[in-house]
Amino acid sequence: MAKDLRSDNDNLQAWRNKRSQLTEKLLERSLQELIKLNAKINQKTICDMMKKISTDEDKKYNAIITPSAISKNQLYKNMISEAKQKIKLTDKKINYTIDGDKQLEIFQLRTLLAKKEAKIKELESIIDMANISHISKISENEINSIGYKSIVKDLVEYIKSNGFGYINDEQNLIDEDTQNILVTSYILKDL
């Protein structure tokens, strides 16, 4: 029986070498693009990206590969694992895997913003009810004549009763959401 010479064909070997080089370059470009997009890196997403960014030459040499071809080639698996490690080292951003995650975070932020705006309006209305106008410089006697203590006391009671804040161990009035001090213990002692 005669020897099969197809594997020794120079044209076929040149074509295979060219395809291998193009596939490797296309895989590298796909990984870089996925890293830029901060997308999830797996065999399917890589193959999808390869299809999207492939050139005419890549298509001519069939450089686009399937997920099963990636799993069979150790070089490709190593390239993917290196890219995943790069992402883990540089990943400081929030990684959204689906649009639903983005929608949920936007909803949560809008809800928080609406709560803060409502709280600001309520506090402004309390200040308006107390008839406090903007005064640049006032003396201690004028402060006592305004009756700031009763205003602050009413404000503290309103904040505590509506659950906007609480008194901590150090006797400071603390904002429930931000954990910032609203009224210090020094002022609360004078009340």
Which tens digits make up the pLDDT trace of 141-169? 555 556 677 778 888 888 888 777 888 88
DSSP symbols for 66-94:
-HHHHHH-HHHHHHHHHHHHHHHHH--S-
End position of a domain, from candidates 90, 107, 141: 90
Q: How confident is the model at residue 93 (pLDDT cuts 50, 70, 90)?
A: low
**167 in the same domain as 117:** yes
Asked whether residue 60 is domain-assigned, the answer is: yes
End position of a domain, from candidates 90, 108, 132: 90
Distance CA 75, CA 57 (A): 22
Asked whether residue 61 is domain-assigned, the answer is: yes
Residue 37 identity:
L
Beta strands in the chain (DSSP E): 165-167, 173-175, 181-183
**77 in the same domain as 31:** yes
For the chain, give the mean pLDDT.
79
Torsion sign across C-alpha atoms 109, 115, 121, 127:
negative
**180 in the same domain as 139:** yes
End position of a domain, from candidates 60, 90, 120: 90
pTM: 0.44
Residue 28: is its pLDDT beyond 90?
Answer: yes
Distances (CA, A) of 180 to 30, 103, 140, 154, 163: 46, 29, 26, 19, 14
Element (H, E) at 108: helix 99-129
Q: What is the pLDDT of residue 21?
A: 92
**118 in the same domain as 155:** yes
**155 in the same domain as 133:** yes
Distance CA 46, CA 168 (A): 53
The more confident residue out of 131 and 86 is: 86
Q: How confident is the model at residue 26 (pLDDT cuts 50, 70, 90)?
A: very high
**42 in the same domain as 23:** yes
Domain of 28 in residue numbering reads as 11-90
Q: What is the pLDDT of residue 4?
A: 56
